Structure 1
Amino acid sequence: MKLRFLLLLPLLVQLSGCAVNPATGKTDFVMMSERQEIELGRNYAQEIARQYPRYADEKLQAYVQRVGERVARHGHRSHLDYRFTVIDSPDINAFAIPGGHIYIHRGLMAYLDSEAQLAAVLGHEVGHVTARHSVRQQSQSTAWNILGQAVAIGTGVGAAGDLTNVLGGAIVSGYGRDMELEADGLGAQYLARAGYDPQAMIEVVEVLKSQEDFARDEARAKGQEVAPRGYHGLFDTHPDNDTRLRQVVAAATPLANGQGEIGRDTYLRQIDGMPFGDSTEAGVRRGQRFYHRGLDFILGIPQGWGLINRPDALIVHSADQQAFLVMSMEPVQQSMSAQAFVRQLTGGRALAQEQSFQQAGMDGVSGVVPGSAAKRVVVLMREREAFLFVGAVKNGGALDAADPRFMEIVRSVRPLQANEQALAEAYRLRLVQFKSGQSLEKLSEQMPGEGDRLRRLRLLNGLYPTGQPQPGDWLKVVR
């Protein structure tokens, strides 16, 4: 037993990494230097660039960078090279990765109402960076993996659970209530020191609470039991910790030296004309169809199926997320048939049940890659590019159950017609000044889209669920 313990010592020594947290002054357990943290962030940023499209409005990107830098300048790690990026996505989210890379989704910006609220979101994410939350999470994960190895060697019992993906999961879903509240408090400090009204931190939480209420109501109207999850950050610690949030904001308020800046008009002018929902560049879903003007195609989506639009692929999935069809566009170096392209992909092997066909002027081949997890493969050739489809069912499910749906989607692909070009255009936010005698009901009737448009209009303008604007107020509408 003593010999076994001595064998464990080299592993256990690796668990002894500690450093003083620059934001809190407390000693944290970390297993990464700042240089390593910056390098890790650089690698993550490259992966994010592949998965999330950058919003193609450099004027807005520069504005967000200026606001973010103004807040970060007053943080505990102001020496970092902070990069603030707007992601071209309708999702309600923002996140930070190690080393000072901070991202905000265009979808969240649509519901914010002032520069101070934007600064509050960015300040919260800066708080995650300055407190090294991602590094602390990964260090804990690494420690548990090393400890698990030690337990396995010492007792013959493998470590329970796989903690290797803790950092990636935290970026998407949050860091837990204590870390999120810590980021709230740090963000409020930075907000106040930068000259913004720290109450914007609470206003953002109210915006996000309304967003959750709206999403829950919309889900209920569609017969869904679970509402979509919202922004992980500020919202993740509330409403249970409202009192604690107000305490950390109150503690930061004296730092503002009086009335902090709000910047509502400035912010609204910046987002005037911004796409709402899907963007033209990334492709637009309208009901059960997906339109992409740049790539000139339309694709049908089965009723009840979902769509994930990534820069590198389009993923259509069943409601239970067990069946997936992935479509990508592949460049073709020289003119070739669909069958020749398949041979190139498979190293010269034919697909099982292979069939050739013609579709909307395109040469097509369909077949199956056999095996315990069989996959449907389809190629449609269009000049020097190929539509490549791969369909599969998770957890060893039978391909036959989903295959008719896969082929239904493939068969729907065709070029856009002249009268469909307008359908591929994004909806956009526009500013209108509310006039005396005007009604929100009439304004909402002029808005496109599905669902309760009046409730959506109120949600966009911080009036959810029953608020009313005053004459002269500027409102965001969708056109």
Structure 2
Amino acid sequence: MKPTLPIAAALLALSACSTNPVTGKKEVMLVSKGQELAMGQQSDPAVTAQFGLYPDQKLQNFINEKGKAMGAISHRSDLTYTFRVVDSPVINAFAVPGGYVYFTRGIMAHFNNEAQFAGVLGHEIGHVTARHSAKQQTNAIIGQVGLMGAMIASPRLAQFGEQAAQGMQLLFLKFGRDDESQSDELGVEYSSKIGYDASQMADFFQTLQREQAKSSAEAIPDFLSTHPNPADRYNRVHQLATQWKQQNGNPTNLKINREQYLRLIDGIVYGEDPRQGFVENNAFYHPELKFRFPVPAGWKHQNTPQQFQMADPAGKALMMLALAPGASLDEAAQALVKQFSLQPTDSRRVTVNNFPALAFVADQVQQDPQTGQSVAGIRTMVYLIQDGKTIYALLGASAPTDFPSYQPTFSSTMEGFARLTEADKLNRQPEHVRIKTLKLRSTLSQALKSNGVPEARLEEMAILNGMQLNEQVNAGSMIKVVGK
């Protein structure tokens, strides 16, 4: 007789207890250390491919040096930690199992001293040492035991935009409030142990809150979306930092290192990098690859080094552009058909604004769970467009019933692919953080204006500096501004 599913889950849990490295307590853990390490090793190439590494060796050396020092005093000093700054403008930091920690250039630009950076670094290492990601995986496994046999995988539109899904799913694990609180405590402990004033981490949370308020009509900063930020978090982290100091003899030599940090990030790219492609006036432009194509009005879009994605606001269709494998249009078509399990219904040679191309419609076939028969799950339109040795794949996808209404949008977008020739688009450059040393004492507002910041961007620059516009800044102090 086999145990029932709930009993099986309980037996599985009882047989997989381990000791948490941070708390020393026994806990259910179905993910072994070896599996944790493997998850990180498998995820890292996907993460770096998705975002790209930020090409600044001094920044990469900085995060690696501080990260290694912190890992060595952590509760899991035996791990081989890996630290990277990735080339994304979003304000985010995240860790995956096995000791892989990532900071975006966007969050690096918003820190105003080394101590703020160190506090967040300790927080992320805390997720690794307390095995929060592994615990999330364990909870998912236990939850799935009762569903096995009833679940039937079905293709989704999103799969076309998730070539790195194996690694990406680990980035968006939502940690509970208890896990976040524990990581805040560890952030204070770890950053203090390597000599930094942990109260600065609390000040950075204020910067994030202000950024959220400024962007209330838009998406909130990713660091807040994946890291719950209750109203009392600022006060609690200050309390934790004070308690640590009291318990360790109130050291007076804890570092902040504002000027050193500002010099380090002088010149960092700020915001979107147009050299990697940008959207303007309902069109996507890529200055480096010298092409353009229209973006449907109202469609959401996301650009990464791997691909450019567009999604209908109703969630019923998406399009993407990516590089296609193969040395010819036919090879590229065969590769895509195999990758997405497509069955082409027609194919034709076309020319798109002087580029040779291959266009086809194809169904992704799945099995109907009720009848066992094959049915079309997703219908796609694909244009493969060749520019010299490079082949671009433009793919649109929707449910078969919705396809006729989206087909004209797919066609007009793909047939709008053209050579980019406008000089102002080809020469578009990113903004950079510039560090200015003030000659006179003034308010931050006056200092920003005297350094060419327009009225409309004063609050944005105040948040970037972690200060208020009416705050006094002394002669000789440094501030951030943004320029080409």
TM range (shorter): 0.7 to 0.9
Q: Show CA shifts across 1:174-232 (max 9, x none).
A: 3111100100001100111110001112012111111111111xx2xxxxxx6435314
After TM superposition, give the deviation of residue 427 of structure 1 in Å: 1.6
Q: Which residue identity does 2:410 align to in structure 1? A: F
After TM superposition, give the deviation of residue 134 of structure 1 in Å: 0.9
Tell me, in whole angstroms, the C-alpha distance in 1 between the residues paired with 2:5 and 2:404: 53
Contact 2:174 2:226 in 1 (8 A): no
Q: Equivalent of 2:390, from 385, 389, 411?
A: 385
Residue 426 (structure 1) aligns with: 430
Q: Please, what TM-score do these two structures have when normalized by structure 1? A: 0.83
Q: Equivalent of 2:476, from 448, 461, 472?
A: 472
Q: Equivalent of 1:364, from 333, 357, 380?
A: 357
Q: Which residue identity does 2:354 align to in structure 1? A: G
Contact 1:343 1:350 in 2 (8 A): no
Q: Please, which moves more after superposition, 101-110 or 276-285?
A: 276-285
**Structure 1 residue 263 and structure 2 residue 268: aligned?**
no
Tell me, in whole angstroms, the C-alpha distance in 1 between the residues paired with 2:166 and 2:351: 47
Tell me, in whole angstroms, the C-alpha distance in 2 between the residues paired with 1:120 and 1:330: 42
Contact 1:110 1:460 in 2 (8 A): yes
Partner SS for 1:104:
strand
**Structure 1 residue 315 and structure 2 residue 320: aligned?**
no
Q: Which residue identity does 2:396 align to in structure 1? A: G
Residue 184 (structure 1) aligns with: 184
Tell me, in whole angstroms, the C-alpha distance in 1 between the residues paired with 2:116 and 2:418: 43
Partner SS for 2:73:
coil
Contact 1:432 1:476 in 2 (8 A): yes
Residue 269 (structure 2) aligns with: 275
Partner SS for 2:58:
helix
After TM superposition, give the deviation of residue 344 of structure 1 in Å: 7.2
Q: Please, what TM-score do these two structures have when normalized by structure 2? A: 0.82
Q: Which residue identity does 2:136 align to in structure 1? A: Q
Tell me, in whole angstroms, the C-alpha distance in 1 between the residues paired with 2:417 and 2:198: 50
Residue 319 (structure 2) aligns with: 325
Gaps of 5+ in 2: 155-164, 364-375
**Structure 1 residue 249 and structure 2 residue 241: aligned?**
yes
Contact 1:459 1:465 in 2 (8 A): no
Structure 1's 10 and 307: CA in aligned 2 closer, same or farther, altered over 3 A? closer
Contact 1:325 1:406 in 2 (8 A): yes
Tell me, in whole angstroms, the C-alpha distance in 2 between the residues paired with 1:206 and 1:11: 42
Q: Which residue identity does 1:362 align to in structure 2? A: F
Partner SS for 2:215:
helix
Residue 17 (structure 2) aligns with: 18
Q: Show CA shifts across 1:115-168 (max 9, x none).
A: 11111111100111111111111122222223555xx8xxxxx69xx9xx9996
Tell me, in whole angstroms, the C-alpha distance in 2 between the residues paired with 1:341 and 1:234: 37
Structure 1's 37 and 332: CA in aligned 2 closer, same or farther, altered over 3 A? closer
Paired residues in the alignment total 452
Tell me, in whole angstroms, the C-alpha distance in 2 between the residues paired with 1:354 and 1:39: 41
Tell me, in whole angstroms, the C-alpha distance in 2 between the residues paired with 1:456 and 1:135: 37
Residue 378 (structure 2) aligns with: 373
Q: Show CA shifts across 1:456-477 (max 9, x none).
A: 1112111257645444332222
Residue 446 (structure 2) aligns with: 439
After TM superposition, give the deviation of residue 98 of structure 1 in Å: 0.9
Q: Show CA shifts across 1:426-466 (max 9, x none).
A: 2211112234368256358556xxx9422211121112576
Contact 2:5 2:146 in 1 (8 A): no
Contact 2:355 2:385 in 1 (8 A): yes
Partner SS for 2:351:
strand
Q: Which residue identity does 2:223 align to in structure 1? A: Y
Q: Equivalent of 2:466, from 446, 462, 476?
A: 462
Tell me, in whole angstroms, the C-alpha distance in 1 between the residues paired with 2:240 and 2:64: 25
The 5 Å alignment of 1:26-425 reads: 26-148=25-147, 171-172=171-172, 174-216=174-216, 219=217, 227-232=219-224, 236-254=228-246, 255=248, 257-279=251-273, 282-286=276-280, 288-333=282-327, 338=329, 342=333, 356-369=349-362, 371=376, 373-393=378-398, 398-417=402-421, 419-420=423-424, 423-425=427-429
Q: Which residue identity does 1:205 align to in structure 2? A: F
Structure 1's 291 and 471: CA in aligned 2 closer, same or farther, altered over 3 A? farther
After TM superposition, give the deviation of residue 408 of structure 1 in Å: 3.4
Q: Please, which moves more after superposition, 467-476 or 17-26?
A: 467-476
Tell me, in whole angstroms, the C-alpha distance in 1 between the residues paired with 2:90 and 2:202: 21
Tell me, in whole angstroms, the C-alpha distance in 1 between the residues paired with 2:325 and 2:242: 56
Contact 1:461 1:475 in 2 (8 A): yes
Tell me, in whole angstroms, the C-alpha distance in 1 between the residues paired with 2:264 and 2:133: 31
Contact 2:461 2:481 in 1 (8 A): yes
Structure 1's 26 and 299: CA in aligned 2 closer, same or farther, altered over 3 A? same
Contact 1:298 1:415 in 2 (8 A): yes
Q: Please, which moves more after superposition, 194-203 or 317-326?
A: 317-326
